[in-house]
Amino acid sequence: MLQRAAAFAPSNIALTKYWGKRDHVLNLPLAPSLSVTLAELGTLTVVAPNPDLSEDVMMVDDQELDPAGMTKVRRVLDVIRQRAGTQVKAGLRSVNTVPTARGLASSASAFAALAVAASKAYGLDLSERELSVLARTGSGSAARSVAGGYVLWHAGESQDGNDSYAERVFDSEHWPLKILVAVVADQKKKVSSTQGMKMNAAGTSPLFNAWIDQCQRDVVACQNALRDKNMRALAEVVEGNALAMHATMMANRPPLLYWQAPTVALIHAVRRLRDEGAECCFTIDAGSSVVVLCEAQDARAVSDELASVPGIEEVLQTRVGGGARLVGDAG
């Protein structure tokens, strides 16, 4: 049965990163990765199958989605339609509560919300694992936005990608950390993660293969630090992993340098705060903003300190949240 359906999916931030693919169409990673789910910050998507439409159409924050984005959306919808045995196109509307171009990728929450809403709209009853696989075909990191809490994305081995899915390893209550996003303005249009990963494949960065090997070890160390709720151990692996990813990018030819001056100032600020006793650590995605995880009792002081760094536009605050979910029709 075809019906209108809506879903919300949260954004996530990788604690050990996905940066390197063994398949650039199916978004199959070379290494596993671990992430934490961001409560409230995410994407709400409504999918309405409509036999009168000759093409899928999608509005994102009241603007028509660009052709490159539409190709990825259609890829996910086509898989769903094939399984549902229908050709009917859909009208889609999406609203981001992640401030886009604010250093937080919206593609993870966008494709997770799409997978959940569209599979319901086309009458499929998919498991969390199947939804994760589906979301991944739109954007790799979206695989991690389905489950919620602390999430592990298995790299998988199969060519069709059916064993490359993410699942929760600890729920949000296990370690209810605060998550601060120190937003740094990007001075020019940045290279997207999709483009960056194509540029930064093996052979163009002398560090790339070592980086992938390190990720395999970091996932294990990170999961242990999360299990033990050990911030010092978490800081070592999370910061080390992010810095190693950026080192790999910087060593690329041509180099990929996402940092701005305030990015470096934030790194020093977090290290200083930790030396002074605050329980916190940072990570950085393919952008210039810095995400800081901290214990609830330190959140105010850490946030004030980050906000005082010159060049910081704002500091967003959230917490570890739950996974993607269907919501009542959001019209």
Q: Which is nearer to ligand DP6, 4 or 154 (CB)?
A: 154
Check if the beta carbon of residue 312 is closer than 8 Å to that of residue 266: yes
Minimum Å gap between C-beta 27 and ligand DP6 is 4
Q: Name the closest residue to ligand DP6 (Cβ).
A: 140
For the bound state, the minimum distance from the C-beta of residue 73 to ligand DP6, rounded and expressed in Å, comes to 12
Minimum distance from residue 98 beta carbon to ligand DP6 (Å) = 12
2/304 Cα distance (integer angstroms)? 49
Of 106 and 303, which has the nearer Cβ to ligand DP6? 106
Q: Closer CB to ligand DP6, residue 89 or residue 168?
A: 168
Of 84, 139, 150, nearest in space to 107 by CA: 139
Peptide bond into 254 cis (omega under 30): yes
Are 77 and 45 in contact by the 8 Å Cβ rule? The answer is: no
The answer to whether 93 touches 54, Cβ cutoff 8 Å, is: no
State the minimum distance, in angstroms, from the CB of residue 11 to ligand DP6. 10
* Encoded tokens for 34: 């671990």
Please identify, using beta-carbon distances, which residue of 92 and 242 lies nearer to ligand DP6.
Answer: 242
175: left (phi over 0), alpha (psi -120 to 50) or beta: beta
Q: Are strands 325-327 and 90-96 parallel, antiparallel or unpaired?
A: unpaired
Closest CB to ligand DP6 among 91 and 196?
196
Residue ranges in contact with ligand DP6 by CB under 6 A: 14, 17-19, 27, 33, 105, 107, 139-141, 193-194, 197, 285-286
Least Å distance, CB 16 to ligand DP6, is 8
